Homo-oligomer: A and B are copies of this chain.
Amino acid sequence: MSDRKPLILITNDDGYQAKGIASLTEAMKGLGEVIVFAPDSHRSGMSSAITTSHPLRARMIHHEKDLKAYICNGTPVDCVKLALNEFVDRKPDLLVSGINHGSNAGISVLYSGTMGAAIEGCVFDVPSVGFSLCDFTPDADFSATATVARNLAKKVLEAGLPKGVCLNVNVPMGKVKGIRMTTQTQGKWVNEYYRSKDGSGKDVFWMTGNFENWEEENDSSDEWALANGYAAVVPVKIDMTAYDFLPELTKWNV
């Protein structure tokens, strides 16, 4: 048991200047020694992408007692990897990512850079949690989410998380009725492009879309919790093996 304070690594995918990461950093104050290691600009939708074709750079932009902040030209996963490989002198006790401006519930866990970072923390066997608020606006009110984040962070520092499991936490706008421990809603995005023209009349496609919920009646999944005013906490596994299908697959004669 170290007598040093717990070490908390913070990152996000909206970039270091986002209000969400400032709120999360504030929420972690007093819980330990904090290191912020965040993208130098917006990296939304980056999933677990890593940078292989050009080199990464990082520099410290802030240093006070119990708080250091770095920015990096990579993806959220690059930030976690670079921090843990090269910039942090001990294994963090907790990684928190976010607070994302916008939901990462349901299938969006796959595309989310916020969750990419939390999943990467989990790869490093660091207890890791991604936080998202269902509000895309730059000046969203993160106060309720910050409270959820602080309470969950304390609990994770105390109880830990199983190896290979991290948490995806989404918080609805407005008053939060409570916290539901829940599952990833099955569904997908539809009508995903807005077709428009460029200046020379050629077709271009802008990402847009609506989430189609295939479990609308399921009051135990994350989208239901959010739609009903609850914060939704989904435990996420990094082992993607479909163990249930393996016995049948093994019978395939190929």
Q: State the A residues within 8 Å of B (CB).
A: 42, 44-53, 55-58, 75, 77, 81-82, 85-86, 107, 109-111, 116, 119-120, 123-124, 148, 151-152, 155, 159, 161-162, 164-165, 179, 181, 183-184, 186, 188, 191-193, 195-196, 198, 202-207, 233-246, 249-250, 252-254
Known A57-B203, A85-B192; contact A47-B50, beta-carbon cutoff 8 A: yes
A188 near B246: Cβ-Cβ < 8 Å: no
CB-nearest residue of chain B to A82: B205
Contact assessment for A240 and B192 in the assembled complex, using a CB-CB cutoff below 8 Å: no
State whether A81 touches B192 (Cβ < 8 A).
yes
**Contacting pair A241 B183 (CB below 8 A):** yes
Instruction: Kindly list chain B residues whose C-beta atoms are within 8 Å of the C-beta of A238.
Output: 107, 110, 240
A242: which of B48, B165, B243 is its contact (CB, 8 Å)? B165
B81 touches A110 (CB 8 A): no
Contacting residues, chain B, for A244 (C-beta < 8 A): 162
| Given A56-B205, A165-B245; A151-B181 close (CB under 8 Å) | no
Quick one: which of B52, B234, B239 contacts A184, CB cutoff 8 A? B239
Q: Which residues of B contact A55 (CB under 8 A)?
A: 196, 198, 204-206
- Check if A186 sits within 8 Å of B164, measured CB to CB: yes
Which chain B residue has the least Cβ–Cβ distance from A110?
B48
- Residues A242 and B162 in contact, CB atoms below 8 Å apart: yes
B50 touches A207 (CB 8 A): yes
Task: Determine whether the beta carbon of B181 is less than 8 Å from that of A252.
Answer: yes
Residue of B nearest to A237 (CB): B242
Task: Please state if B107 and A184 are interface contacts (CB–CB under 8 Å).
Answer: no
Verify A252–B205 contact, CB threshold 8 A.
no
Closest B residue to A56 by CB, please name it: B205
By the criterion CB–CB under 8 Å, are B165 and A243 in contact? no
Q: How far is the CA of A152 from the CA of B249 in the complex (A)?
A: 11
Please give the distance in Å from A160's CB to the nearest CB on chain B. Answer: 11
Q: How far is the CA of A191 from the CA of B82 in the complex (A)?
A: 10
State how many angstroms separate the Cβ of A94 from the closest Cβ of chain B: 14
Tell me the smallest distance from the CB of A176 to a CB of chain B, in Å.
12
CA distance A127 to B2 in the complex (A): 50
Known: A47-B116, A164-B242, A235-B249. 19 other contacts (CB 8 A): A46-B49, A47-B49, A47-B50, A48-B111, A49-B75, A56-B193, A58-B205, A81-B192, A86-B193, A107-B238, A109-B240, A124-B188, A155-B252, A161-B245, A165-B242, A181-B246, A184-B240, A235-B242, A235-B245
